[in-house]
A and B are shown apart, each in its own frame.
Chain A
Amino acid sequence: MLTILFDGIAYGMLLFVLACGLSVTMGLMNFINLSHGVFSMAGGYITAFLINRWGVPFLLCLPLAFLFSAALGMVLERTLYRRLYARSHLDQVLFTIGIVFMAVAAVDYVIGSQQQTVKLPDLLKGRVDILGGSIGLYRVFIIALCGCLAVTIQMLLVKTRFGSQLRAAVDDPRVARGMGINVNTVFAITFAVGSGLAGLGGALGTDILGMDPTFPIKFMIYFLIVVTVGGTSGITGAFFASLILGIADVGGKYYVPQIGAFIIYALMVVVLIIRPQGLFSRSRGK
C-alpha cells in the first residue's frame, strides 16, 4: 500500500520535472511547444553518454544534463522559437512537430534506435523499509530532489525580482517593455530553464521510463496532460496535477489492472469537463 503510494509519488514527481518547463512556456508564455520532449531526450542521452563513455558519476551528470539542455534550449529559442511567439497556435504546432520529427530521426541516425541505459551509483540502489512498506532508494532520491526543485522554482517565480519581471512580461509585454524590462531576455532565460529542467527530468527518468529516439513522441501526450490538468496558473497546478496523475496511474494499474490504461485519460477528461481551465487557473487580463 505504502509502496504503491510512494511509487506513485515518485512517478508524479518525475512527470513534474519533465513537464514543468512546458507548463511555463505553454501556460505563461502561451507558446504551444510540442517539442519539449526533445530537451528531455537531450538530457537523457547526454547522461547515458557521459556515464557509459567517460564514466562520469551519475550525480555529476544531473547538473550537466541540466546545463546541456538549457544551453540547447537557449540556442534554439534565440534562433528559432523566438520567431513563433506571435504566430498562431497552429503554426506553433506545425513547427514544433517538425522539430520533433527531425530530432527523432537525427538521434536515430547518429546514435541508433536502441534503448539507452544509465548505471546508477550503488548508493542509490537497493531498498529501504519504512512503516512496513519497502521503497526503492532511487525513488526516494527522486522524490526528495524533485520536491526541493519544486519549492525552489516556486520561490523563484513568486519571491524574486526575476519572477515578477516574468509575470509582468507575460501579462502585458508592451507595458513590461515600457517599464524597462528586457522582455526578450526574460523569455530566453525562462525557456532555457524550462528546457534544462526537462533535460534533468530526462536524465532522472532514463532509468525508470527508458530512453530511446521515440521518447519525445511517446511522452508528449503525458506532458500535455500534466499541463492541461494543472492549468495555466504557473507551476503549482502542474505540481499537483503531476502528483495526482502519478498516484492515480500507478494506483489504478495496481488495484484494477484491467482498466489501468484508461485511468489517466479518463481522469484528464473528467477534470477538464468540471474545470475547463484546469485545476488551478487564473483569470487572464485581456
Chain B
Amino acid sequence: MSNHPFSKRVWLTAPVLAGLSLLAPQFPQPAAAQDTVKIGVILPMTGPSSSTGRQQEAAAKLFIQQNGATVAGKKIELIIKDDTGAPDVTKRLAQELVVNDKVSVLLGFGLTPLALSVAPLATQAKVPQIVTAAATAMITEQSPFIVRTSFTLPQASVPMAEWSLKNNIKKVVTLVTDYGPGLDAEKWFSDTMTKGGGTVVENLRVPLRNPDFAPFLQRVKDASPDAVFVFVPSGFGAAFMKQFVERGFDKAGIKLIATGDVTDDDLLQEIGDPALGVVNTHHYSASHNSPENKAFVEAFRKANNNMRPNFMAVGAYDGMQLVYKALEKTKGNTDGEALMAAMKGMSWTSVRGPVSIDPDTRDIVQNIYVRKVEKVGNELYNQEFATIEAVKDPFKAAKK
C-alpha cells in the first residue's frame, strides 16, 4: 500500500484547507440600523406548539396595524421565523437575526427550552429578549437582557391554592404535565397548600407525549380528594377535559381546579360543556371586562377569521406594546442597555388589566383573576369573579 495515491493528495489538500482557514474572513460588525428598527420574532409555527405561534404572530401584526409602523421617528419591521420548537434552531435563528439582520429586539419564544437557548446570546450581544410565551419562573434569571410579558406558573398557581384553602378545599391531588412549567405549577401549588393547612395527597406527572389520561385520572379518583389541581400545556386541555367528565368526577364530588392553560380561550369552545363550572386562575380572559379588551378582541377576531385571542396572543401584544413604549422613552435609541433601562419599571394598561415590569426581576407584575367557566350567549368564557392585584412572581420573591 506504499504507493497508495490516496494519502498524497489528501496531504496536499489538508494544509491548504488549514492555511485558508487562518485567513479569517472579514465580518461586518453589528451596528444599529439607521431608520428602521427590526424586531426578530421567533415562534414555533409548525409542530405541536404551533397554535402558540399562530396566536402570537397574529397579535404582533395586529398591534402594528393598530398603532402604526412608526414610533419615535423609526420604522418598525417584523421578521418572523419558525423554529419548529427545536432549541438549536431557535438559537441559530436568533444568532442570524442579530448578526445578519441586526435586529434590535428579539421577541417570542414559545417554550421554556427555546427561551433558555437564546439567553446566553442575549447577554453576549446585549439585545433585549422579550419572552412572550414561555412560563417557567427561572427564565428571566438566565440573562439580564430577558424581559417577560407572559406570566409565570407560580404566579398563576399560588392564587389557585389560596382560593382553594379559603373555599374549603383541603385535600388535593395535583396532576401536571411532566416538564418545566408543570413542575413549577406542582411545586408552588403544593407548597402553598401545605403551608395553609391543606394536604396534597399525591403529585401525579403525566408524560409530555401521553395519548391517554385514563390511568392517571383513575388514580386521582381512587385517592378521592376534594379537588384535583391540573396543569396541562395550552392545546392539551380538550382531551383532558373530556376524559375528566367521562370518568364521572362530578358525581364523585371531586372538583377540578386548574391554571387557565387548561381552559385556554382558544380551545374553550371546542371543549364545550364539560368545561362548565371549572374554577381556574390566570392573567387573561377574552371576556375581561374593560374597554381596551373589548376593542382588542373585536379587532383580533376581525383580522383573523373570527379566531378568539387567548393569553398567548396577549403576551405578544403586550410584548410589542413594551417595545413601542421603550422606544418612545429612549427617543428611538436602539442600544440594548438603553432599551432595557427603559423597560424596567414600565407600566401600562394592558388588555388584561394594569401591568408593569418589575425593575428587579424584569418579570411582569399583573393581576391574577379567579375565573369560572360559564356560558355567555352561545359561547363559553372564563368569567372573572375575583381579582388578586399586582401579583409578582412568587418564585423570585421567595428568594429575597
Judge A-B direct contact (beta carbons within 8 Å). Answer: yes
List residues of chain A with CB under 8 Å of any chain B CB: 3-4, 7, 11, 105, 108, 112-117, 119, 125-127, 134, 136, 138, 207-210, 212, 214, 218-219, 222, 249-254, 257, 260-261
* B211 A209 Cβ-Cβ under 8 A: yes
Chain A residues contacting B215 (CB-CB under 8 Å) are 4, 7, 250-254, 257, 260
6 additional A-B pairs beyond A114-B266, A257-B205, beta carbons within 8 Å, are A11-B214, A105-B46, A112-B54, A207-B242, A249-B212, A250-B215
A254 with B212, Cβ < 8 A, contacts A114-B266, A214-B48, A261-B207 known? no
Does any Cβ of A come within 8 Å of B210's Cβ? yes
Q: Which of A11, A116, A136, A218 contacts B212 (CB 8 A)?
A: A11
Chain A residues contacting B210 (CB-CB under 8 Å) are 253, 261
Does any Cβ of A come within 8 Å of B239's Cβ? yes
Chain A residues contacting B242 (CB-CB under 8 Å) are 117, 207-208
The residue on A at minimum CB distance from B208 is A261
A–B pairs, 23, beta carbons within 8 Å: A4-B218, A7-B212, A11-B212, A108-B50, A112-B54, A113-B51, A114-B51, A115-B267, A116-B270, A119-B272, A126-B248, A127-B247, A127-B248, A136-B247, A207-B242, A208-B214, A208-B239, A209-B239, A210-B236, A249-B212, A252-B215, A253-B210, A254-B218
In the bound complex, how far is the Cα of B272 from the Cα of A119, in angstroms? 9
A209 with B51, Cβ < 8 A, contacts A4-B218, A117-B270 known? no
In the bound complex, how far is the Cα of B235 from the Cα of A214, in angstroms? 12
Scan residues 201-231 of chain B and give those whose CB is less than 8 A from a CB of chain A: 204-205, 207, 209-212, 214-216, 218-219
* B54 A125 Cβ-Cβ under 8 A: no
The residue on B at minimum CB distance from A261 is B207
Nearest-Cβ distance from residue B143 to partner chain A, whole angstroms: 30
* B270 A7 Cβ-Cβ under 8 A: no
Q: By CB atoms of chain A within 10 A, which of B47, B210, B218, B267 has the most? A: B218
Chain B residues contacting A116 (CB-CB under 8 Å) are 270
In the bound complex, how far is the Cα of B266 from the Cα of A192, in angstroms? 36
Nearest-Cβ distance from residue B212 to partner chain A, whole angstroms: 6
Does any Cβ of A come within 8 Å of B36's Cβ? no
Chain B residues contacting A112 (CB-CB under 8 Å) are 54
* A138 B246 Cβ-Cβ under 8 A: yes
The residue on A at minimum CB distance from B240 is A210
* B270 A219 Cβ-Cβ under 8 A: no
Does any Cβ of A come within 8 Å of B243's Cβ? yes
A134 with B248, Cβ < 8 A, contacts A114-B266, A210-B238, A254-B218 known? yes
Chain B residues contacting A254 (CB-CB under 8 Å) are 215-216, 218-219
Q: Chain A at the B interface: mostly helix, strand, loop or mixed?
A: helix
A115 with B239, Cβ < 8 A, contacts A218-B211, A254-B215, A254-B219 known? yes
Nearest 3 pairs between A and B by C-beta? A210-B239, A254-B215, A253-B215
A209 with B212, Cβ < 8 A, contacts A115-B267, A117-B271, A257-B205 known? yes
Number of interface residues of B (CB under 8 A): 32
* A257 B243 Cβ-Cβ under 8 A: no
A257 with B204, Cβ < 8 A, contacts A108-B50, A134-B248, A214-B47 known? yes
In the bound complex, how far is the Cα of B218 from the Cα of A7, in angstroms? 10
In the bound complex, how far is the Cα of B245 from the Cα of A119, in angstroms? 13
Scan residues 42-71 of chain B and give those whose CB is less than 8 A from a CB of chain A: 46-48, 50-51, 54
* B239 A257 Cβ-Cβ under 8 A: no
Chain B residues contacting A126 (CB-CB under 8 Å) are 248
* B47 A208 Cβ-Cβ under 8 A: no
Chain A residues contacting B50 (CB-CB under 8 Å) are 108, 113
Scan residues 163-186 of chain B and give those whose CB is less than 8 A from a CB of chain A: none
Chain A residues contacting B212 (CB-CB under 8 Å) are 7, 11, 208-209, 249-250, 253
Q: By CB atoms of chain B within 10 A, which of A125, A138, A208 has the most? A: A208
A222 with B211, Cβ < 8 A, contacts A114-B51, A115-B235, A115-B238 known? yes
Q: Which of B47, B211, B246 contacts A219 (CB 8 A)?
A: B211
Chain B residues contacting A3 (CB-CB under 8 Å) are 218
In the bound complex, how far is the Cα of B215 from the Cα of A241, in angstroms? 19
The residue on A at minimum CB distance from B238 is A115
The residue on A at minimum CB distance from B51 is A113
Chain B residues contacting A108 (CB-CB under 8 Å) are 46, 50
Q: By CB atoms of chain B within 10 A, which of A114, A219, A222, A260 has the most? A: A114
* B214 A250 Cβ-Cβ under 8 A: yes
Nearest-Cβ distance from residue A4 to partner chain B, whole angstroms: 6
In the bound complex, how far is the Cα of B48 from the Cα of A253, in angstroms? 23
Chain A residues contacting B243 (CB-CB under 8 Å) are 208
In the bound complex, how far is the Cα of B165 from the Cα of A112, in angstroms? 40
Chain B residues contacting A252 (CB-CB under 8 Å) are 215
The residue on B at minimum CB distance from A136 is B246
Nearest-Cβ distance from residue B241 to partner chain A, whole angstroms: 9
Chain B residues contacting A207 (CB-CB under 8 Å) are 242
In the bound complex, how far is the Cα of B246 from the Cα of A175, in angstroms? 53
The residue on B at minimum CB distance from A207 is B242
In the bound complex, how far is the Cα of B206 from the Cα of A249, in angstroms? 13
The residue on A at minimum CB distance from B236 is A210
In the bound complex, how far is the Cα of B47 from the Cα of A218, in angstroms? 10
In the bound complex, how far is the Cα of B234 from the Cα of A230, in angstroms? 35
Chain B residues contacting A257 (CB-CB under 8 Å) are 204-205, 215-216, 219
In the bound complex, how far is the Cα of B271 from the Cα of A126, in angstroms? 17
Nearest-Cβ distance from residue A237 to partner chain B, whole angstroms: 21
In the bound complex, how far is the Cα of B242 from the Cα of A269, in angstroms? 33
* B48 A114 Cβ-Cβ under 8 A: no
